[in-house]
Amino acid sequence: MELTDIWFLLIALLWTGYFVLEGFDFGVGMLLPLVGRTEADRRVAINTVGPVWDGNEVWLLVAGGATFAAFPEWYATLFSGFYIPLLLILVALIVRGVAFEFRGKIDSDRWRRNWDIALFAGSVVPALLWGVAFANIVAGVPLDADHEFTGTLFTLLNPYALLGGLATLLLFALHGAGFLALKTRGDVRMRARGLAHGIGLATVVVGGAFLVWTFLAHGAAWTIIPVLVAALALVGTVLMTHRMREGWAFLLTATAIVAVTVTLFGSLYPDVLPSSTDPANSLNTTNAASTPYTLSIMTWVAVVFTPIVVAYQAWTFWVFRRRIGTADIPVATGLPARIPTP
Amino acid sequence: MNLDLARWQFAIVTVYHFLFVPLTIGLSVLVAGMQTAWVRTGNDRYLAMTKFWGKLFLINFAMGVVTGIVQEFQFGMNWSDYSRFVGDIFGAPLAIEGLLAFFLESTFLGLWIFGWDRLPKRLHLACIWLASIGTVLSAYFILAANSWMQHPVGSIVNDERGRAELVDFGAVLTNSTAVGAFLHTITACFVTAGVFVMAISAWHLAREQHVEVMRTSIRLALVTVLVGSAGVVVTGDLQARLMTEQQPMKMAAAEALYDTVAPASFSLITIGSLDGSEEIWSLRIPRVLSYMATGSFDGQVEGINDLQRDAEQTYGPGDYRPNIPVTFWTFRLMIGFGLLAGLISVVGLWLTRRRARAPVPRWFFGVSVVALVLPFAANSAGWIFTEMGRQPWVVFGTMLTADGVSPSVGAGSVLLSLIVFTLLYGVLAVIDGVLMVRYAKAGPPPTAVPDRNHDPDDPGATDTTDEPRPLAVAY
């Protein structure tokens, strides 16, 4: 196996880690208005991801950095070409990140309501747009001989990509519902379970359609395997939710996300960004890659440190494994909205 | 047009990001130190300090994290030709920074924030230290990347592929420029955190509230600022010499020195003509520039005009001079603000010494509070100087900034993102400012002492996993 193939796999792994992990905290953010009817319920939901969301998001930063290091041409074309969607994602991640930290800082309903909107929008926008982006990556975009993107924003908003966006949106919402059902007790758990039912059925339909389209239009023969795994996992999620097996349901949505990511990267290989104007202009693992010297150094670093990162992140989930309910939520410690006059 | 917009955007989002970063790095180490003192002595004053400064640290950290996300992607967005050209070299430290540093700081900070009642005391303490180490590591890797742009080492230019290629990664990591920049930046981070703690402690001491906690805090802060400032001066001196050797034009621009002279005087103030090409009047200290640049009071320092002539011979016709008024003034503001912070710490250590006969005069507290702006202004000025002084190059001697912008991104898109980031960052600055001020004024929380019934170190008090009880910390 070439070093360039190893790096294609590693980048697929980083995106998989990102979607599996941040997928559920996007889901929690999206479902916040639905599972959290009271302030205590909303805090229960937010605190299920409180200790881990930031570590989850680093998978994205490392995926970005690794793409820059291993496939500079891919990094350059992708992020300059998908300029406006990426801008929206960045803005969403910014407001969402500060929302976690700032929401409880002032004890005022209006303050918290505004941050709840930030959490909701900041979760919906990236969950949708990552799907739009990856569908476009797999389908290909207009690239000229210099590998420059020649389309517009509307090139990216084609039916296949929008279906992809809807599929990831639903998939992450389902993943989040499963996570909430697994990590909470009381009303939030009940509502999350109920939502998982409805979202689960919708995900089977929309996700299934997206997978079939991907396979028929862009898939390699072997990608039928991850397509089937993803489909079975989604159906399994619905069944396990019905049987109230929350651990299994969550594990199955995680499996579905892994399988969808494998399908997407598998369909892409050996291209990294196909050109829809002329196949000769496509970026692939060879013409987009860094030198073998850089790739070999990066491989050593990745081989040594990725397992360490996975180990300590797994330990974090173990430390915070306990379910939480409203009884666990301490009284609000935010400062009053108005400065008290003596 | 695109070039100017892209440069403005990079400047705005990067200078803004760097308002938060030095405080994060310096304060994470100080808070870790406070908690270590608490774990070792059991003195609740140190616990109150850990909780109070830790809370301010986290408000700042959140801003640093979210503004950092943009940094990882904006090279591809606005500087795609730069990314194509340098990715083989520049991308590696960025990716390693993420894998080694960002994971460490974010994961262990999450454990630290929510782990107060979940982890044994020492393990919990280890979490904040690991997060601190992560912040320091991240500084090293990003500075190694930037230093390669200042002084490209360990690489060759492959004309056929039209890109720079890495040939010696060790050389990139041990680049003298990177070592100098790292030491200078880290010491500046301690000055920043020290002044931050000093200013807020002084505010409380002036009002005679939380006296115990704030007195200990201000002493710690003053020592930190003094040691940090000494380090900044020594490392700055080292950097000036490297700069003279590696980027003589930047040194000449820092001084607005037009003609080569030996010995060279350091100008405190120079008034130049409007286009910055001629000197009208200046106030100078003899021989100091020679010393700064070469280590000898008689050393020759090359002037802008000679360097421009040399550059034209080497690189062909073009203007190789940076913006002289900007480099001249940012260089002075950096040094001036930095030295002033150091000076205040000396005065403060004297006034707050244990055997002082008189109480600390009120004016000192006032000065300390105002001094809060100094490190932030010095940090920003320093980076603006470093980056502006490298112009017109993006990679010194190798790639022009003008050749780095994204050809496929229209001016409208760049302008849109420039406006969006500026407005968003403006709103966040107000929110962050209000929260910082209010939490700083609120002082240490009254219930800083942990619930002894749930001490994770005490096996007798350990609860069964599913028994509901309030979390020690929650969003």
> pLDDT, tens digit, for every residue of A272-289?
999 999 999 999 999 999
CATH topology of domain A3-331: Formate dehydrogenase/DMSO reductase fold (1.20.1630)
Contact call for A149 and B408, based on CB within 8 A: yes
Cis peptide before B392 (omega within 30 of 0): yes
Q: How far apart are CA B317 and CA B323, in angstroms?
A: 18
Looking at every residue in chain A, the average pLDDT score rounds to 95
Residue with tokens 């200042």: B150
Residue of chain B minimizing CA distance to A46 = B475
ipTM > 0.90 for the complex:
yes
Six token digits for residue B328: 């001249």
What is the phi/psi pair of residue A340, to 5°? -65, 135
Q: Which residues pair with A149 in a beta bridge?
A: A143
Q: Which residues pair with A284 in a beta bridge?
A: A271
Residues of B whose CB is below 8 A from A148: 80, 407-408
Amino acid, res. B126: A
Contact call for B95 and A70, based on CB within 8 A: yes
Six token digits for residue A123: 């979760």
Contact call for A324 and B471, based on CB within 8 A: yes
pLDDT in tens, chain B (475 residues): 789 999 999 999 999 999 999 999 999 999 999 999 999 999 999 999 999 999 999 999 999 999 999 999 999 999 999 999 999 999 999 999 999 999 999 999 999 999 999 999 999 999 999 999 999 999 999 999 999 999 999 999 999 999 999 999 999 999 999 999 999 999 999 999 999 999 999 999 999 999 999 999 999 999 999 999 999 999 999 999 999 999 999 999 998 888 888 788 888 777 776 666 677 777 888 888 888 888 888 888 889 999 999 999 999 999 999 999 999 999 999 999 999 999 999 999 999 888 877 888 999 999 999 999 999 999 999 999 999 999 999 999 999 999 999 999 999 999 999 999 999 999 999 999 999 999 999 999 875 455 444 555 554 444 445 555 688 888 8
Q: What does the domain layout of chain A look like in residue ranges?
A: 3-331
Report yes or no: B49 and B36 within 8 Å, Cβ to Cβ. Answer: no
Residue of chain A minimizing CA distance to B82 = A76
Contact call for A298 and B445, based on CB within 8 A: no
With the C-alpha atoms ordered A38, A39, A44, A48, is the resulting torsion angle positive or negative?
Answer: positive
What is the phi/psi pair of residue B271, to 5°? -100, 120
3-class DSSP state for residue B259?
Answer: coil
Beta carbons within 10 angstroms of residue A234's beta carbon: 27
* H helix and E strand count, chain A: 12, 4
Residue of chain B minimizing CA distance to A300 = B96
Residues of A whose CB is below 8 A from B108: 312
Report yes or no: A163 and A216 within 8 Å, Cβ to Cβ. Answer: no
Secondary element (H or E) of residue A264: helix A246-268
**B2-41 helix and B176-206 helix, angle to the nearest 10 degrees:** 60
A contact test, residue of B108, B408, B467 with most A CBs within 10 A: B408
3-class DSSP state for residue B468?
Answer: coil
Q: How far apart are CA B325 and CA B167, in angstroms?
A: 37
Residue with tokens 């994470």: B28
Q: Where are the beta strands (DSSP E) in chain A?
A: 106-107, 271-273, 283-284, 335-336
**pTM (2 d.p.):** 0.94
The size of chain A, in residues, is 342
Contact call for A339 and B438, based on CB within 8 A: yes
Q: Give the minimum alpha-carbon distance from B121 to chain A in angstroms, rounded to a whole number.
A: 14
Beta carbons within 10 angstroms of residue A91's beta carbon: 20
Q: How far apart are CA A256 and CA A231, in angstroms?
A: 7
Report yes or no: B269 and B253 within 8 Å, Cβ to Cβ. Answer: no
Contact call for B406 and A80, based on CB within 8 A: yes
Q: Measure CA A243 to chain center.
A: 26
Q: How far apart are CA B408 and CA A202, in angstroms?
A: 38
Nearest alpha carbon to residue B401 among B390, B411, B409, B415: B390
Q: How far apart are CA A233 and CA A17, in angstroms?
A: 17
Six token digits for residue A187: 């009303």
